Amino acid sequence: MADGSHVQVHDLGRLMEAMRPRLHRYCARMVGSAIDGEDVVQDTLAKAAAADLGEIERPERWLFRIAHNTALDALRRRRRRDDRTVEIDPDVVADPLAAADVRVAASETLKVFLRLSPVQRSVVILVDVLGDSIAETGAILQISGASGKAALQRGRTRLKAWTDSPPDTPITSTAETARLRAYADRFNARDFDALRALLAEDVRLDLAGRRRLEGAPTVSVYFTRYQENPNWRVSLCRAEGRPALLFSDTELGDYVVLLAWRGERIRAIRDFRYASYAMKDMAVAPL
């Protein structure tokens, strides 16, 4: 990690944007998801931006420490959420045939990191994925070099044993798939007015790595760029097992868009067009 010894608070914004891909590689593996990892990165950068520290010593180390704690907080929230009783959607069924479609992508899944303890996971990511030294890793996690080496060895051994585990069977919602297919059909037919009509009044748009917008009048502008370029095509996919849209462009390549619904209206859009760093870690397969 090339860590400048000090940074002034007015230079922090540039540093945070430069570090965003590295932070995402770390956070995605800490929480086992490239999609959820982007949420952790956004929370990390928001906390860092809100800090009133004047001059920051070892800024990259400081940012990774914030990212580490933010990731652990996210996992605690997920655990509490999963512990609550959830009513099963009758439209949601396991799709045994779909497992073969995602086997290759799932073999590189980030979820395997979740089988490690938080310390082992963090050390393996920092050393083996990001290329940091044991000394720097120990400074970030505030552990001794000996503890870091032990965690690294145990983590590597456990990961090797689990790498060949079969992937989870994907979950498919027939209602969700139908809504996504209708969206893709309208997009490919260039019927953008029909797509704008699907937006809930309080819809939220998250252009990962760029900006967030709220409200149907503001978010409706989102479709203008797509309307101006006839090269985009949309198909259905699974992104980390979730039903999603795969946007393809001859120049920009492929990226994922996730939709959240309230009934038949779109309440949230997450577009990874500008987050190529997240796409590199995201397991995507045809639906």
Please tell me the predicted confidence (pLDDT) of residue 276.
92
Nearest to residue 140, comparing CAs of 230, 207, 82, 66?
A: 66
> What value does the mean pLDDT take over residues 51-67?
84
The per-residue pLDDT for range 84-113, each reduced to its tens digit, is 544 434 333 333 333 333 322 333 478 889
Measure the CA–CA gap between 245 and 236, rounded to whole angstroms.
5
Q: Which strands make up the sheet holding 242-249, listed edge to edge?
A: 211-214, 199-207, 265-271, 253-262, 242-249, 233-239, 284-286
The per-residue pLDDT for range 108-155, each reduced to its tens digit, is 478 889 989 999 999 999 999 999 999 999 999 999 999 999 999 999
User: 217-231: b or e for each residue (b if 16 or more CB lie within 10 Å)?
Assistant: eebbebeeebeeeee
70 burial type by CB count under 10 A (0-12 exposed, 13-18 middle, 19+ buried): buried
The per-residue pLDDT for range 145-183, each reduced to its tens digit, is 999 999 999 999 988 887 655 555 555 668 889 999 999
What are the tokens at 136?
């720097």
Query: To the nearest whole percent, how much of the chain has pLDDT over 70?
Result: 82
Measure the CA–CA gap between 152 and 158, rounded to whole angstroms.
10
Average model confidence (pLDDT) across the chain:
84
Q: Are 38 and 83 in contact (CB under 8 A)?
A: no
Q: Are 178 and 213 in contact (CB under 8 A)?
A: no
Please give the backbone phi and psi of residue 250, each rounded to the nearest 5 degrees, phi first: -65, -25
- β partners of residue 204: 214, 268
For each of the domains in the chain, give its residue range(s) and CATH number, in order of start: 6-86+110-162 (1.20.140.160), 171-286 (3.10.450.50)
**Going by C-beta distance under 8 Å and a sequence separation of 6 or more, which residues neighbour residue 173?**
89, 91, 92, 243
CA 250 to chain centre: 24
Please tell me the predicted confidence (pLDDT) of residue 94.
36
**Going by C-beta distance under 8 Å and a sequence separation of 6 or more, which residues neighbour residue 197?**
none
